[in-house]
Amino acid sequence: DFLAALDEVHPAFGVNDEELQQCVHNEIIKFSSNIERILSDGQLYIDQVRKSSRTPLVSVLLHGPPGCGKTALAATMAMSSEFPFIKLISPESMVGYSESAKMNAINKVFSDSYKSPLSVIVVDNLERLLDWVPIGPRFSNSVLQTLLVLLKKRPPKDRRLLIFATTNERSVLEQMNMSDCFNSEIYVPNIVELSCVDFVLKELTLFNDDERNRALSSLQQDGFNLNIGIKKLLMIIEMSRQDVDKVDKFVSTIMGL
């Protein structure tokens, strides 16, 4: 039965840790309660798959604006499951692939996962896997159809699978009937509060306290609406670090977005 199968798992299944850790280049900074809630929701899905035999397949979609941190969060949750099979499906490993090579690569990860009693797959950047472009619009229908089937395909008897997928283009996926494929959705928001910026700035030690306060009060202007992804925020911090006047560069770049 299931527990027996779990014991037999070969280490050969492999957990591609390096690839997944690469997704979280700069660690997860817990700059808001959102981040904690997302991580604990992830834990619930991990538990469900581990425990309930009636739902051997659970799939979750992380969506939000570009650079909000979807990939880093999905990879982090996947690694925290410590399931014997953890793999990443990502457009970056398929550059230059033909449509059918992509289909095969995707299909192979799913087929491999069926050999492990407990598996988690991160499907990163769905719109890029689909070769989506809004002009036309164009996309790879054969990759789409492959995903539409695999995201809903029940693993064989005594096998269980958890899927975390990410996208910037939730509404596009809805038009493609793909949002029906997910059992749950997690929204990852941009940073809209200065307290979060403050938290991140402290963490990255760009400024001394005085500089940080000057920067934050400059941003506390009427009519300015903060709305920035964690990824862009990190980039601006590093750019500002090169400048003679770090505070000015930081503030003006953020306000110029």
Ligand X SMILES: Nc1ncnc2c1ncn2[C@@H]1O[C@H](COP(=O)(O)OP(=O)(O)OP(=O)(O)O)[C@@H](O)[C@H]1O
Residue numbers at the binding site for ligand X (CB under 6 A): 24-29, 31, 35, 66-73, 125, 166, 168, 230-231, 234
Q: Is 71 in the site for Mg ion (CB under 5 A)?
A: yes
Q: Is 95 in the site for its own copies (CB under 8 A)?
A: yes
Name the 3-class secondary structure at 94. Answer: helix
Q: Which of 14, 235, 245, 252 binds its own copies (CB under 8 A)?
A: 235
Q: Which of 141, 195, 205, 220 binds its own copies (CB under 8 A)?
A: 141
What single letter denotes the amino acid at residue 29?
I
Name the 3-class secondary structure at 243. Answer: coil
Closer residue to ligand X, CB minimum distance, 69 or 117:
69
Q: Is 66 in the site for its own copies (CB under 8 A)?
A: yes
Q: Which helix (H) or strand (E) holds 123?
A: strand 118-123
Q: Is 28 in the site for its own copies (CB under 8 A)?
A: no
CA distances from 123 to 17, 38, 43, 165 (A): 15, 17, 18, 4
Give the separation between CA 60 and CA 247, rounded to whole angstroms. 40
Closer residue to ligand X, CB minimum distance, 115 or 231:
231
Give the separation between CA 253 and CA 233, rounded to whole angstroms. 10
What's the closest the beta carbon of residue 205 comes to ligand X, in angstroms? 14
Structure tokens at 128: 């890029």
Q: Which of 17, 30, 37, 52 binds its own copies (CB under 8 A)?
A: 52
Q: Are the beta carbons of 13 and 84 closer than 8 angstroms?
A: yes
Structure tokens at 83: 């399931």
Which entry of Mg ion, its own copies, ligand X, none binds 72, CB below 5 to 8 A by partner kind? Answer: ligand X
Closer residue to its own copies, CB minimum distance, 17 or 221:
17
User: Which residues are 191's β-sheet partners?
Assistant: 228
Spatial strand order of the sheet with 57-63 comes to 85-89, 118-123, 160-167, 57-63, 184-187
- Listed in sequence order, the DSSP H helices in 82-169 are 99-113, 126-129, 141-150
Which entry of ligand X, Mg ion, its own copies, none binds 69, CB below 5 to 8 A by partner kind? Answer: ligand X
- List residues near Mg ion by CB under 5 A: 71
- List residues near its own copies by CB under 8 A: 22, 25-26, 44, 47-48, 51-52, 54-55, 58, 66, 91-92, 95-96, 98, 100, 103-104, 107, 110, 128, 131, 133-139, 141-142, 144-146, 148-150, 153-154, 156-157, 175-177, 180, 183-184, 204, 234-235, 237-239, 241-243
